[in-house]
A and B are shown apart, each in its own frame.
Chain A
Amino acid sequence: MNLAVRDIRYHRGRFILTSVGLGLLLGVVMSMGGIYRGLFADALSISHATRADLWVVQQETSGPFAAISRIPEDIRYRIAAVPGVAEASPLSFQTVQIERRGKPFRFFLVGYDLNGFGGPPTIIAGRGIRQKHYEMVVAQGMKMGLGEKIRLGLHDYTVVGITGKMVSSSGDPAAYVGLADAQEIQFKSNNDAIRNQRERIAARLAGLPTLSPPQTKLLRQNITALTESTHTVNTVVARLAPGANLQEVQERIGRWNHFRAISDGEQTEILTKGMIEKARMQLGLFRIILLVISAVIISLIIYTSTIDKIRTIATLKLIGARNRVIVGLILQQSLLMGVIAYAIGYGVISLTYDRFPRRVELVASDLQSLFVIVIGICTVSSFVGIRKALKVEPAEALGG
Chain B
Amino acid sequence: MYAVEVERLTKIYGHGETAVTAIADASLQVKPGELVAILGPSGSGKTTLLTSIGLINEPTRGRVILDGTTIADDGWRKGLDLKRVRREKIGFIFQAHNLIPFLTALENVMVALEINGMARREARARATELLEALNLGHRLETYPAFLSGGEAQRVAIARALANRPKVILADEPTAALDTENGKNVMALLKKLAVEHRSAILVVTHDHRMVEGFDRIFDVRDGRIMGER
Chain A residues at the B interface, C-beta cutoff of 8 Å: 1, 3, 6-7, 9-11, 311-312, 315-322, 325, 393-395, 397-400
Contacts and interface: CB of A to CB of B under 8 A. Distances in A.
B86 A7 contact: no
A322 B100 contact: no
Interface of B: 47, 51, 56-57, 83-88, 90, 92, 94-95, 98-103, 107, 110-112, 114-116, 120, 143, 159, 171, 175-176
B120 A317 contact: no
Contact of B120 (A1, A320, A394, A400): A1
Contact of A316 (B85, B90, B95, B115): B115
B102 A394 contact: no
A30 B103 CA distance: 36
Contacts of A316: 100, 111, 115
A6 B86 contact: no
A313 to B, nearest CB: 10
A315 B107 contact: no
- B94, B107, B176: which has the most chain A beta carbons within 10 Å? B94
B102 A10 contact: yes
A283 B120 CA distance: 50
B143 A10 contact: yes
Contacts of B84: 320
B94 A397 contact: yes
Contact of B95 (A3, A319, A400): A400
A6 B56 contact: no
A102 to B, nearest CB: 60
A394 B100 contact: no
Nearest to B47: A398
A10 B101 contact: yes
A243 to B, nearest CB: 71
Given A10-B143, A315-B100, A399-B94, 9 more contacts: A1-B103, A1-B114, A10-B101, A319-B159, A320-B87, A322-B83, A395-B57, A397-B98, A399-B95
B171 A398 contact: yes
A247 B70 CA distance: 87
Contacts of B175: 400
Contacts of A318: 56, 86, 92
B101 A312 contact: yes
Contact of A6 (B94, B102, B171, B176): B102
Nearest to A319: B112
A72 B202 CA distance: 104
B80 to A, nearest CB: 13
B32 to A, nearest CB: 20
B115 A320 contact: yes
Nearest to B120: A1
Contacts of B51: 395, 398
B112 A6 contact: no
A311 B110 contact: no
Contacts of B56: 318, 393-395, 398
B115 A321 contact: yes
Nearest to A320: B87
Contacts of A7: 102
B132 to A, nearest CB: 19
User: Which of B51, B99, B103 is most buried by chain A, counting CB atoms within 10 A of its CB?
Assistant: B103
A319 B102 contact: no
B87 A6 contact: no
Contacts of A394: 56, 86
B201 to A, nearest CB: 14
Given A315-B98, A398-B94, A3 B86 contact: no
9 contacts: A318-B86, A319-B112, A320-B115, A320-B116, A394-B56, A395-B51, A395-B57, A398-B56, A400-B176
Contacts of B112: 319
Which 6 interchain pairs have the tightest Cβ spacing? Answer: A320-B87, A10-B102, A320-B86, A7-B102, A320-B83, A321-B115
A151 B68 CA distance: 102
Contacts of A397: 92, 94, 98
Contact of B110 (A1, A312, A322, A395): A1
Contact of A319 (B57, B115, B120): B115
Contacts of B47: 398-399
Nearest to A396: B56
Contacts of A312: 100-102
Contacts of B171: 398-399
A371 B159 CA distance: 40
A319 B115 CA distance: 8
B57 to A, nearest CB: 6
Q: Which of B51, B98, B101, B103 counts the most chain A CB atoms within 10 A?
A: B98
Nearest to A318: B92
A394 B92 CA distance: 11
A1 B102 CA distance: 12
B83 A317 contact: yes
B36 to A, nearest CB: 18
Contacts of B115: 316, 319-322, 325
A99 B176 CA distance: 80
Output the residue of B87, B88, B102 with the most chain A CB within 10 A: B102
Nearest to B51: A395
Contacts of B94: 397-399
A319 B103 contact: no
Contacts of A325: 115
A252 to B, nearest CB: 78
B107 A6 contact: yes
Nearest to B172: A400
Nearest to B145: A10
Q: Among A311, A319, A397, find the residue whose CB has the most chain B CB atoms closer than 10 A.
A: A319
